[in-house]
Amino acid sequence: MSEFRVTAISKLHAEFSVPGDKSMSHRAAILGGLSNGTCTIRNFLPSEDCVNTLNAMKALGATYEVLDELPGYGPVNLRIHGQSMKLSAPAAPIDCGNAGTGMRLLAGLLAGQEFSTELFGDASLSSRPMGRVTVPLGQMGANIETLGEKPGCAPLLIHAAKLSPITYDMPVASAQVKSAVLLAGMFAEGTTTVIQPAETRDHTEQMLASFHVATRRDGNLISIDGGQVPQACDFTVPGDISSAAFWLVAAAALPGSYLLIKDVGLNPTRTAILKVLSRMGAHMSEIVHSSNGEPIGNIKIQGAPLTGTTILIDEVPNLIDEIPVIAVAAALAQGRTIIRNAKELRVKETDRITTVVNGLRAMGAEVEEFEDGMEITGGKPLHGATIESCGDHRIAMAFAIAGLFAEGETIIQNTDCVNTSYPGFAHHLDAILHERPDAADFSLPTVSKA
C-alpha cells in the first residue's frame, strides 16, 4: 500500500493544470452513452471512479474507443458511441467502485429500463446512504432493492419498471439526488420536477443543454420533459476545481507564493472555495477564458498570512468536497474558523468530520468537533504525524497539504485512493516538494492509442 512522505516547503512558484472534472466526466460518460451518435470527449478524468462509469455504459451497450490515455490510469480523450436512449441489459452486475456519484446517477438512469441491473461498490460505497435516491425513484414507480448488510445501502438491485413523472422536494441539498431524478425523468412520460432546498452544482443541467436536452429552471425548481434524445456532441472537460483546491490552499497559506492553475472549471456552483480563500486573506483572481456551457479559466493566487472565517450556510453545498482542505487552511490561519451545517460530510467516502478532526489533532491543531461540523482555532504550529487516509482520497490529499506546513515529516498512509479523483497527484506533490524549476510543465504525459 503506498504512502506520501511530506516535509515543509519554503517556496511555491508554479503554473499547471489539474486533471479533468470528476462530476462532469461521470455525466459526459452517461450522456455520451445515451446520445444518438458518436461523441468525442476530451480531458476526461481517467480516475477509477469515472472509468467505472464509462465501463458501466459499455456494459449497457455504449462502446467507446480510447484516443489518448494517461498510462496506468485510463482514457483522457475518447470517442463514445451512444445508444439513442436504448440501453441493453448488462451481462453481469456493474461495479461502481468507490463512486457515490457513479452509483446514484446510474441508479436514476437504470430505474426505468426494461431489464434489471445490479450495482455494487467497495466497502465505503456499500455503507453510504442510497435511500436518498431509492425513495424518489420509488415514487416514480421504480422497484429497487437495497441488498447491503447496512439497511438502505448498496448493492442495489434495480428491477425493470415503467416510470411516471413526479415533483420531488429534496430533503437534502444533493446534486447527486437531483441528477438521479432528472436522469430517471428522461425515461418517464411527462414532466419531472426536482425542488432543491439550496443551490447545488448544476453540471447535469449544463451538460444536458450541451446535448440539446432542455431543462427548465424556476428558482430552485428544475424540470425535464421525458422522451428527449441527447444529441451527440463533442465536449472538453475543464480541470477539476476540487483538485485544484489542494494547491490553492497550499499557495494561499504560504506568503510569497505564486500559483497559476490553468484551464479549470469555474462554474459558479463550484467556486465558493475561491471566495473563502479570498476572505481568509489570499490574493487571488480568476479569469474565464472560454466556455462550452461550462465556464473555463485560470486562477491566479498569491499567498498571504491567512485569518479564520465562517463558512456561510449557503456556501456549504458549493464547497462540500473542499471542506477537508479548507480545514487545513483554517489550522494555518490566525483566529477561528467555523464550519457548521455540514452534516453531509459524515456520509462521504469517510465520515469526513471525524477523519479531518482526528488528523488535524494528530498534527497539533486545536479543533472542536460538532455533529454538523467543526471549529478550528488556527495558528498553532503543526507538527508531522502519521495520518491514515482511511481510503478517502480527499483526506489523503488534504493532509499531504498540511504536511507541507508541518515541522518534521508527515506520513500519509494508504494513498492509492487518490486515484479515485486525482491520478497524478503524487507527481504534482513531488514536483512541489522538490521545488522543481520546470514547474510550468507539470502536465501529466498522455499516450496516443488511436
Shortest distance (Å) from residue 344 CB to ligand S3P: 6
Q: Which stretch binds ligand S3P (CB under 6 A): 172-180, 304-312, 409-417, 442-450?
A: 172-180
Sign of the dihedral through C-alpha 102, 51, 94, 141: positive
Q: Is 374 left (phi over 0), alpha (psi -120 to 50) or beta?
A: beta
Compute, in degrees rounded to 10, the torsion defined by CA atoms 428, 430, 435, 439. Answer: -30
The CA-atom distances, in angstroms, between 192 and each of 169, 246, 344 are 11, 37, 25
Residues 6+ away with beta carbon under 8 Å from 80 = 29, 32, 33, 35, 38, 39, 41, 54, 57, 62, 63, 64
Q: Which one of the spans 171-179, 233-241, 329-337, 353-361 is the region binding ligand S3P (CB under 6 A)?
A: 171-179
Among 69, 294, 321, 388, which residue sits at the site for ligand S3P (rule: CB under 6 A)? Answer: 321
Taking the CA atoms of the chain, what radius of gyration do you get in angstroms? 21
Query: Does 175 engage in binding with ligand S3P (CB under 6 A)?
Result: yes
Q: How many residues bind ligand S3P (CB under 6 A)?
A: 11
CB 335 within 8 A of CB 307: yes
Any residues with CB less than 8 A from the CB of 95 and at least 6 apart, and which? 52, 55, 56, 120, 121
Q: With CB under 6 A as the contact rule, which of the stretches 57-65, 80-88, 175-183, 433-441 interacts with ligand S3P?
A: 175-183
Q: Which residue is nearest to ligand S3P (CB)?
A: 23
Q: Tell me which of 320, 363, 400, 429 binds ligand S3P, using CB under 6 A.
A: 320
Taking the least distance from each CB to ligand S3P, the nearer of 336 and 346 is: 346
Residues 97-126 that bind ligand S3P (CB under 6 A): 101
Residues 6+ apart with CB under 8 A from 293: 206, 207, 209, 210
Closest CB 364 distance from ligand S3P, rounded Å: 28
CA–CA dist 423, 70 (Å, integer): 9
- 308 versus 317: smaller Cβ distance to ligand S3P: 317
Binding to ligand S3P by residue 298, rule CB under 6 A? no
Give the chain's largest Cα–Cα span.
61
To ligand S3P, the closest distance from the beta carbon of 384 in angstroms equals 29
Residue span 72-101 as binding mask against ligand S3P, x where in contact by CB under 6 A, dash where not = -----------------------------x
Which triple of cell numbers denotes residue 333?
490561519
The DSSP annotation for 8-77 comes to: --S--EEEE--PBPHHHHHHHHHHHHHSSSEEEEES---SHHHHHHHHHHHHTT--EEEEEEETTTEEEE
174 binds ligand S3P (CB under 6 A): yes
> Which of 35, 176, 215, 318 is in the footprint of ligand S3P by CB under 6 A?
176
Residues 199-228 interacting with ligand S3P (rule: CB under 6 A): 200-201
- Residue 4 makes CB contacts below 8 A (sequence gap 6+) with 396, 400, 403, 410, 411, 412, 415, 426, 429
Contact assessment for residue 198 and residue 219, using Cβ atoms and an 8 Å cutoff: no
Options 25, 35, 179, 309; binder of ligand S3P; rule CB under 6 A: 179
Q: What is the closest distance, in whole angstroms, from the C-beta atom of residue 179 to ligand S3P in the complex?
A: 6
Q: Find the binding residues for ligand S3P in span 340-359 (CB under 6 A).
A: 344
Nearer to ligand S3P among residue 319 and residue 402 (C-beta): 319
Asked if 122 is an active-site residue, the reply is no
**Closer residue to ligand S3P in complex, CB, 14/130:** 130
Of the residues 49, 122, 202, 321, only one is catalytic, namely: 321
- Would you say 179 or 223 has its CB closer to ligand S3P? 179
Q: Contact between 23 and ligand S3P (CB under 6 A)?
A: yes
**Residues recognised as catalytic:** 321
Q: Which residues bind ligand S3P (CB under 6 A)?
A: 23, 101, 174-176, 179, 200-201, 320-321, 344
